[in-house]
Amino acid sequence: MRLLLCGDVVGRAGREAIVAELPRLRRAFALDLVVVNGENAAHGFGITDKICEQLYAVGCDVITTGNHVWDRREIIPYIDGDPRLLRPINFPPGTPGRGYGVFRTRDGRKVLVANAMARLFMDAIDDPFAAIGKLLDEHPLGSIDAALIDFHGEATSEKTSMGYFCDGRASAVIGTHSHVPAADYRILPRGTAYMSDVGMCGDYDSVIGMQSGSAVARFVKKMPVERLQVADGPATLCAVVVETDDASGLAGRIAPVRIGGSLTPTWPREMEETARALSPS
C-alpha cells in the first residue's frame, strides 16, 4: 500500500501547489491514501469548509490539523459533520471533532489515520502518548491494513520518542508543525516509518511561510509589530511517501517528495517506476 502525507499547507501558495500537483502524485505513485495537513491553509491560520472541499476535490482523502485548528471560528460547527477532517486526538473530552478515523481505500482496505499534538513548547493539553497508545491497542495492525500518525509538534526529541513508542505498532509516524523538512526519514527497528518533520507546502522565501520583514522585526525589536502576513511566492510542496507491506502493515520504504519553489527537488523515481510497472497497460 502507498500512503502520502503532505506537510502543513500555508496560505494560497500552498493550496495552489496542492491543487496543481496532487492529481499527478496520485497517478505517479499509485497512491492508495492521501493525507494533507491543512491547519495553516486559510491565509496561514486555520482552515475553512471551502478549503476542505477544495482539497478533497483534487485527491486528498483525509485532512489533519494541529494547534491552529480553531483559528477560523467557522470551522467549529463544521468539524463535527466532516469525519475526514481531524483535530488532535489529545484535546480534552468534549472538544468538537475527531482525532482519528479508519478510512477505506478504493479497493476496500482499511487505514487508521490519527492526529496528535505534542506538548513540549506547545499548548498544555492531554498526554499524546496515552491517547495514541490506547488507540493502537484498540486498532492493532492485522485488524487494519495500515496506520499513519501525524504527530504535530515543536521538539524533535518528543517526536522521535513518539516514533519509537509506536515502533512495530504503526505503519508510520510523521512529524508536522516546524515547516522545515527533516533529513532523518527512515524505518525504525521494528518496522515503523519515521520522519521528524515533513516540511510545509508553502513559499520558502519566508520565515516558515510568513513574510520575512515582520517576522524578523519580532525578534529584533522585541515589541509588538505588524501582524504576520503569509508569503505568497512560488511554493514548494513537501510530502513523504510510505510503502507498507500487505501482510504485516509495517513499512517497507519511506521517501521524501519536494516539488517546485526554492528547495532542491526530490522525487522517489524507484517508487514511480514500480507503480508504472504494476499499473494496467
pLDDT at 280: 58
pLDDT at 224: 76
Q: Which residues are designated catalytic?
A: 68
- Alpha carbon distance 241, 75 (integer Å): 29
Is residue 51 within 8 A of residue 80, CB to CB? The reply is no
220: how many CB neighbours lie within 10 A of its CB?
9
- Alpha carbon distance 148, 163 (integer Å): 11
pLDDT at 231: 95
What is the mean pLDDT of each successive set of 10 residues along the chain, which is 281 residues long? 98 98 96 98 97 98 97 96 98 97 97 98 95 98 98 98 98 98 98 98 96 91 84 97 97 98 94 78 48
What 8-state DSSP symbol labels residue 238?
E
Please state the pTM of the whole predicted model: 0.95
pLDDT at 247: 96
Architecture of domain 2-274: 4-Layer Sandwich (3.60)
- Alpha carbon distance 268, 31 (integer Å): 13
99: how many CB neighbours lie within 10 A of its CB?
22
pLDDT at 151: 98
pLDDT at 278: 66
